[in-house]
Chain A
Amino acid sequence: GENVEQHPSTLSVQEGDSAVIKCTYSDSASNYFPWYKQELGKRPQLIIDIRSNVGEKKDQRIAVTLNKTAKHFSLHITETQPEDSAVYFCAASQGTGNQFYFGTGTSLTVIP
C-alpha cells in the first residue's frame, strides 16, 4: 500500500517568514495530493490540492509543488500569520481509487 512520510513534525517560524513542509510517497500510481489544515479539536480542512498532471499550484499565500519523478510534494506558506498556526497533513490518493493516505502531520507555530 501507499506510505506517506512528512517532515518536519514540528515547525516554528517568525511571523512574516515562509514555512515549507515536505512529503514523500511510495506508490507511483498516486495522482492526487491534497493538503489539510487542522486546528485543535476541529475537523481537517482542505487548503490546497494538486493533481499529478501539474507541477505547481498557487493560491494566494499558499503553494504546492509536485515532483512525480522523485515522488515528493511540498507545501509552501509565505508571509506567515499567527492564524496559520495549526497541524498540517499531506495525503496521497489514486484518482480512480478511494483511499487517502495521510502523512504524520506537521505542527506549525507562527510566532508573533
Chain B
Amino acid sequence: GAVVSQHPSWVICKSGTSVKIECRSLDFQATTMFWYRQFPKQSLMLMATSNEGSKATYEQGVEKDKFLINHASLTLSTLTVTSAHPEDSSFYICSARVRLDGGEQFFGPGTRLTVL
C-alpha cells in the first residue's frame, strides 16, 4: 500500500514556541492531505483538509492562525503549531488520499507533541 511518513515522531517544546510537523507521501502523489488530532483513548478529530496549491479548509472550531497548514507540493504538507501551549499537547496524525472519489486514506505514524 501507499506509504505516508511524518516527522518528527515526537517533539517536546517550551510554551510559546512554534513547532512544525511534516507529512510526506513517499510513493504516490497526494492531491489531498488531512490533519487529525487525537487525544489519549479518543477518536481522530479532523482539523483541516489540505489541497495542494490552495488554502487549507479548516473544520469548525479549529483556529487557522494557531494551526498553520501548507501543502506546497503533491508529496508534502506541513502543520505548524504556533505559540504552542500545554493544551496543544496531543497526537497529530496526517493522512493522504490517493484518489478524490472516496478512496482509501493512508495514515502517517503520527507525531506526539508535548508542550511544557
Contacts and interface: CB of A to CB of B under 8 A. Distances in A.
Interface string A37-49: 0000011111001
Interface residues on A, range: 20 to 34
Contact of B49 (A42, A45, A99): A99
B32 interface: yes
Interface residues of B, number: 23
A100 B105 contact: yes
B101 A102 contact: no
Given A98-B97, A102-B44, A42 B102 contact: no
Contacts of B108: 43
A104 interface: yes
A43 B93 contact: yes
Given A42-B109, A43-B110, A102 B43 contact: yes
Contacts of B43: 89, 102-105
A99 B102 contact: no
Contacts, number: 56
Nearest to A89: B43
Interface in A89-110: 89, 93-105, 107
Interface in A21-49: 31-32, 34, 36, 42-46, 49
Nearest to A46: B104
B104 A96 contact: no
A7 interface: no
Interface string B29-60: 00010100000011111100101000000001
A31 B45 CA distance: 20
A98 B32 contact: yes
